[in-house]
Structure 1
């Protein structure tokens, strides 16, 4: 996730949402429930982001949750990569020098599978590949972890919501037993609304910080409001958690990207439900203190 403005809802969209009353069983900041620790793009401070190695490292550090980013190739395959260009985290400019700006959507899955997605991070990870979403969920499942899946740039990939849900269903992630291990998030409110309409049982999270006056509209289709920690306050967390989401529970807050002990303690004091971090060990140790 980038610290950028979340995709704005249109006035018309907000106008059609039903007003929801605040929940009566609001979580108190002091209730003692520790926030979930979510490894951002895997343990991306210690292994190349969004690779299987980063999932493995997160597991070794005890992270129960991992976060990733999903995009689509030219031939319709779902791959795990943050940027809409392959250049920053692979050797695509060397392998395919004449195809700038190296957008994910302009390459086939077979072409992307040829790329080195680890050497940029360090020699120990040379030869790591950009995983397909299928490979990624298999690795998460192997470690019995949970997945916060971000639909990245959905406006570039019409229909990616349905395709992602189909793959997750085929791999068992939408079964009742596995569904509690999954949240689908996006900066796009329209994309999340589509996910909710297609599979109402799936939990969703909106990336951004909507105005408190607009939270009732988001509560129709989103279970979580997930802002940058720099935009967070105790009052805002309480305001979010005062609304009931689409599954009859208080809205949750997972905040990003928290990489220091001081920041972890700060947002934990606000009463957040999850902390998204490149350094799950640092956050873990800070919360234990």
Structure 2
């Protein structure tokens, strides 16, 4: 009996035989293994969106990292997921009278005072919120690649151009980076369109699950459709791949946020192109062929 390599990997990891797995997992896949992207860095093992999380992904041998970009009160770009600072910093202790503690209500100097690591563990006490410049430098030093998300761009008019300017200053818009090392994505379709209009060579992704009938509209400005894994089906993957993106190649599909081997292997067998995960080592091991 022929056994799918992904199924065999799961069997090894879980102590189960491939025979007991569901049919989609046990079927042999004919496509390449998906790209594994460390979500907010290796965020299961280090505080998310910090330089420590970038380095942890590098320690695990993970090439691609994902981050979130927002803007401070004084116009600086920082790496932070939530639009307020309460969940991942000690802002309520340092600035108790500044509720609701929005990123956009604080200057960079104030944000630099915050501890962005202790919430995760004592090991990361005094880890700081990085600027986009610092983050880009770390990713570059590690020879990694970046899936950059513009977070809530509707709150930050002009952040698309500002981010592209920062990428250019840091050398991330040269031919090598644009062709191999950079993707810009957002949940906001207008923002993705703006990025494409400003720099048509940059690879872009839309975060969401558009209706199949609407995919040609997204092909006008994006290269990827990146849905939550719960909405991904084999038929949807096939429908996405059947449409050519803005650069004339079939749409790619990167799905999020997948942290267990069975889901990762099932999605790999559907033919997804990338998996965004907090546990990139687990997903890599589950999907390697």
The answer to whether the superposition gives a TM-score over 0.5 is yes
- Alignment partner, residue 56 of structure 2: 57
- Alignment partner, residue 68 of structure 1: 67
- Alignment partner, residue 251 of structure 2: 251
Structure 1 residue 100: deviation in Å?
0.5
Gaps in structure 1 of 5+ consecutive residues: 1-28
Structure 1 residue 246: deviation in Å?
1.1
Matches within 5 A, 1:1-289: 30-179=29-178, 180-288=180-288
Structure 1 residue 284: deviation in Å?
1.1
Gaps in structure 2 of 5+ consecutive residues: 1-27
> Does the CA contact (< 8 Å) of 2:33 and 2:288 recur in 1?
no
Structure with bigger gyration radius: 2
TM-score scaled by length of structure 1: 0.89
Structure 1 residue 201: deviation in Å?
0.2
Secondary structure, counterpart of 1:55 in structure 2: helix
1:236-266 alpha-carbon deviations (Å, 9 max, x no partner): 0110011111111110000000000001001
Distance (whole Å) between structure 1 residues aligned to residue 189 and residue 288 of structure 2: 35
Distance (whole Å) between structure 2 residues aligned to residue 252 and residue 32 of structure 1: 13
Structure 1 residue 230: deviation in Å?
0.4
1:97-142 alpha-carbon deviations (Å, 9 max, x no partner): 1000000000000100110000000000000000000000100001
Distance (whole Å) between structure 1 residues aligned to residue 161 and residue 287 of structure 2: 37
1:191-223 alpha-carbon deviations (Å, 9 max, x no partner): 000000000000000000000000000011010
Distance (whole Å) between structure 2 residues aligned to residue 142 and residue 238 of structure 1: 37
- Alignment partner, residue 3 of structure 2: none
Secondary structure, counterpart of 2:213 in structure 1: helix
> Does the CA contact (< 8 Å) of 2:31 and 2:271 recur in 1?
no
Distance (whole Å) between structure 1 residues aligned to residue 65 and residue 239 of structure 2: 26
TM-score scaled by length of structure 2: 0.89
- Alignment partner, residue 17 of structure 2: none
Count of residues in correspondence between the two structures: 261
Distance (whole Å) between structure 1 residues aligned to residue 244 and residue 171 of structure 2: 28
RMSD over aligned Cα atoms: 0.9
Distance (whole Å) between structure 1 residues aligned to residue 86 and residue 144 of structure 2: 29
Deviates more, 1:177-186 or 1:208-217: 177-186
